[in-house]
Amino acid sequence: MTDHAPARLAEDGPAPDELVAAASDERIADAPADFVEPIADDAPAADDAPAADEPPAADEPPAAVEAPAAPTRTFADLGLPADLLSAIEDLGFTTPTDIQAEAIPVLLSGRDVVGIAQTGTGKTAAFGLPLLEAVDPSERSVQALVLTPTRELAMQVADAVASFAHRTKNLTVLPVYGGSSYVPQLRALKDGAQVVVGTPGRVMDLIERGSLKLGGVRFLVLDEADEMLRMGFAEDVEQIASHVPHERRTALFSATMPAAIKRVAATHLTDPVRVAVTRPASTVATVRQTYAVVPFKHKTGALARVLATTEADAAIVFVRTKGTVEDVTIELSARGISAAGLSGDVAQKEREKLVERLRSGGLDVLVATDVAARGLDVERIGLVVNFDVPRENDAYVHRIGRTGRAGRTGTALTFLTPRERGRLFQIEKATGSSLEEVAIPTPADVSAHKAKQLFTQVTARQAAGRLDMYRKAINAHLEETGADLLELTATLVALAVGDDGPRHRDAEDGESRPRVRREEQVDDDGAFVAARFDEGFAPRDSRGPAERGGRRPRVAGTRYRVEVGHKDGVQPGAIVGAITGEGGLRGSDLGKIDIFPSFSLVEISGEMTPETTRRIGAARVAGRPLRIRPDEGPRGAGDRRGSDRKPLRAKRLTSGAGEHHAERPYRSSRPAGRRSY
């Protein structure tokens, strides 16, 4: 953003000027799925307009005088009260983003709003400013409630809302979240905090304690509602909403608009106005998206090379599980990289310390699960690495949104295994972006980069002096050995950057080269250099009819139960991905999958060791751990299709019978040995 451009109030970054928000007064149930309209392609460009001092051509009539361009919309045009306008000006902002310009006037008018916007579009101010307008600071009771899916986001939203209210006297914004002491939160509620920003779990705890009373709430916000539902907070949100008066203003913001979110909006919002900005452009326009094909066994080494050669000040590495956080953090630290891990097991105070270290420069690399993907805003982060591909496309967008924020640029690198070409296509389709394939730095590249960094320190070290002892040592060595000065210098640089030279593997030393797969490429020392997608592996739908034939004998397997089902919005592919990804199984090891309302049954023919079972059981799908175990059938029933085992399928009518088949199973009918992932 240039210095003369008007500042735009966005907690994560600017919204694109080439896109406009679309607003609709239609009810959510009737609103079209695609409601974002780009500026018309045939609109005249500024470069096409004639210069002011350029005369018209002799054979052309004089050009009509163009009407002056519409003035830029400012916060003063949105109807905000004077104290909030002054606060915004103090923060240095004058021009609202698209989502702010559309949502703020609607909320100020008393209407409910559904906002479809990704992180980085300024949505916190879009609901935060109207929320503050609705609060009466003279009343010492909770008047506004904001629900967020994570602790990090709750803290960020609370800080932002408090900054908007710094000119409003006697107004308290209180963040409440798990993992922190109840005492200060209870004290602030007793003292009359008017705005509460919190996670559903802690809000429910405070309600049940009788400490948080919502009878006076006039403004309710569900921020990142899709993530809240994905994490399993649907029931908590319903319970919390039931404690809030029906007469209120409600704002729901979500990155996507699946059926579950539409149901929430239809239940808890009254005649809402739908406001949106395009999701890919609002989030990834300032992020260079890249990928590299890296077999699983080479991921840690490839990551270390990437981090050793990056120009970014700091980086976040996203992995799927807490166990991987620990493993990768230990490996990076052993290689001299300043890294720390962040997962659900880390206490809140320790989380805050880690983020502060990352912000201040005391930490360069944060290895994290998706718990850190939302609400984390650290200016130093210039690189995001997806060590593991996220199972859901929306998680990818939120991950890479940790860089390229507030007008800055950044890079996102995703590691894809040779069999994950399909995930690449899914991400590109979901984001509307084309990912650029890049090469992983080789060991030689790492050494060259370190040498370059070493040379940048030469001038300053020379100026510092006290080099005579080293000159004498070098001269003595040259006289003693007769070595070449250039060769000696090169050797000293190699030692300084940690390059011990090529590793020779001789047959007599008992060490053999590891097996190299056909899609991998290694150097003379056997170090991984590059890989390509496995062309021999294709999703089931891309195979020919003969390959898809159903006459292949079915492989017998053991039936296992996992604790996710239809109510979690789970799909067979997510279950397959979790089991194969965390358990090291192949897609051909999985057979039929039956998805029931609250759990699913999976046939597995591959070996399930206790360690494999533990890893799969800890994996999360739709925000819930799988907790896999052998299926023991329905409790207290001899029939395997007992009352607790009635899987769901979309309702349909049989011909002539007029009977709903709501209790029929939704199954994957692929035989074992043919499932793809």
Mean pLDDT estimate for the chain: 77
Query: By C-alpha distance, which of 184, 210, 222, 191 is closest to 348?
Result: 184
Query: By C-alpha distance, which of 231, 229, 272 is closest to 254?
Result: 229
**pLDDT value of residue 591:** 83
User: What's the Cα-to-Cα distance from 440 to each of 422, 450, 522, 601, rounded to whole Å?
Assistant: 21, 16, 12, 40
374 contacts 408 by C-beta, under 8 angstroms: no
Per DSSP, the residues of 295-326 read -GGGHHHHHHHHHHH---SEEEEE-SSHHHHH
pLDDT at 438 over 90: yes
Per DSSP, the residues of 528-596 read EEEE---TT---GGGS-TTTT-TTSPPPP-EEEEES--GGGT--HHHHHHHHHHHH---GGGEEEEEE-
pLDDT at 269 over 90: yes
Helices (H), 76-122: 82-90, 98-108
**pLDDT value of residue 406:** 59
- How far is the C-alpha of 217 from the C-alpha of 206, rounded, in Å? 15
Query: By C-alpha distance, which of 161, 132, 148 is closest to 9?
Result: 161
* pLDDT category of residue 391 using cuts at 50, 70 and 90: confident
- How far is the C-alpha of 286 from the C-alpha of 405, rounded, in Å? 8
Query: By C-alpha distance, which of 11, 624, 626 is closest to 344?
Result: 624
Q: How many other CB atoms are there within 10 angstroms of residue 650's CB atom?
A: 8
pLDDT at 160 over 50: yes
**pLDDT value of residue 299:** 93
Residue 1: which residues within 8 A CB-CB, separation 6 or more?
Answer: 7, 14, 407
pLDDT at 423 over 50: yes
* pLDDT category of residue 248 using cuts at 50, 70 and 90: very high
**pLDDT value of residue 147:** 96
In the chain, how long is the greatest CA-to-CA distance?
103
* Tokens 């050797």 belong to residue: 491
Bridge partners for 195 per DSSP: 144, 173
Q: Model confidence over 559-616: pLDDT tens digits?
A: 899 999 888 888 887 888 888 777 777 777 788 888 888 899 998 877 788 888 888 9
Q: For 204-218, what is the HEC assignment?
A: HHHHHHCCCCCCCCC
Q: 61: which 2 tokens?
A: 């009539």
Q: How many other CB atoms are there within 10 angstroms of residue 357's CB atom?
A: 16
Flag the least confident range among 230-234, 359-363, 627-631: 230-234
* pLDDT category of residue 538 using cuts at 50, 70 and 90: very low
DSSP secondary structure letter of residue 114: E
**pLDDT value of residue 515:** 65
User: What's the Cα-to-Cα distance from 380 to each of 357, 361, 366, rounded to whole Å?
Assistant: 11, 8, 12
- How many residues belong to the chain? 677
524 contacts 516 by C-beta, under 8 angstroms: no
User: What's the Cα-to-Cα distance from 449 to each of 310, 445, 512, rounded to whole Å?
Assistant: 9, 6, 30
**pLDDT value of residue 94:** 75
Query: By C-alpha distance, which of 425, 422, 401, 421 is closest to 411?
Result: 401
Query: By C-alpha distance, which of 183, 268, 179 is closest to 217?
Result: 268
Q: How many other CB atoms are there within 10 angstroms of residue 119's CB atom?
A: 27
Q: How many other CB atoms are there within 10 angstroms of residue 269's CB atom?
A: 21
Amino acid in position 493: V
Flag the least confident range among 38-42, 285-289, 416-420, 434-438: 38-42
pTM of the model: 0.49
**pLDDT value of residue 562:** 92
**pLDDT value of residue 172:** 95
Q: How many other CB atoms are there within 10 angstroms of residue 296's CB atom?
A: 14
The stretch 225-251 carries a mean pLDDT of: 90
Pairing of strands 273-276, 22-24: antiparallel
**pLDDT value of residue 486:** 92
Flag the least confident range among 269-273, 464-468, 530-534, 627-631: 530-534
385 contacts 312 by C-beta, under 8 angstroms: no
Q: 587: which 2 tokens?
A: 């897609």
Pairing of strands 381-386, 273-276: unpaired
What H or E segment, with its residue span, contains residue 178?
Answer: none
- How far is the C-alpha of 154 from the C-alpha of 135, rounded, in Å? 19
